[in-house]
Amino acid sequence: MVYTASVILIEQPIKFEWDRGNKDKNAIKHSVNSSECEEVFFDPGKKILADVLHSGDEERFLLLGQTKQRRLLFIVFTLRKKKIRVISARDTNSRERHLYESWAQNTKT
């Protein structure tokens, strides 16, 4: 899988869209609660990439970042009416963790 960096602007203050369809889904499936998802968007070291493969009717993005407890998460999200809607959130796999760490290392130099 090839990741290409892209820049998106998320208006401040950041607002999230949580409803029955996505509020508890990630907690049940991946043990990631909604507050942890939100924390990652405020990680100064986060990386956001366009999800070209899965963008159809709406544009999707991939986010790699850490929670306040330094849990590294992989989040898929979209923007709807200026709100962030998390589609999926889970712990990173080893390849994604390595990618995040290499980006972090490159920004320090």
Residue 8 — very low, low, confident or very high, per pLDDT cuts 50/70/90? Answer: low
Q: Quote the distance between the C-alpha of residue 87 and its chain's center.
A: 9
| pLDDT cut 70: percent of the chain above it | 83
- Can you tell me the distance from the alpha carbon of 76 to that of 54, in angstroms, rounded to the nearest whole number? 10
pLDDT for res 22:
82
Residue whose token pair is 């990173």: 92
Contact residues for 35 (Cβ-Cβ < 8 A; gap 6+): none
Answer whether residue 58 shows pLDDT above 90. Answer: no
pLDDT in tens, 16-36: 999 887 888 999 999 999 999
Residue 7: is its pLDDT beyond 60?
A: no
Residue 66's Cβ-side half-sphere holds a number of Cα atoms within 13 Å equal to 10
How far is residue 93's CA from residue 34's CA, in Å, rounded to a whole number? 20
Please give the single-letter amino acid code of residue 38.
E
pLDDT averaged over every residue in the chain: 84
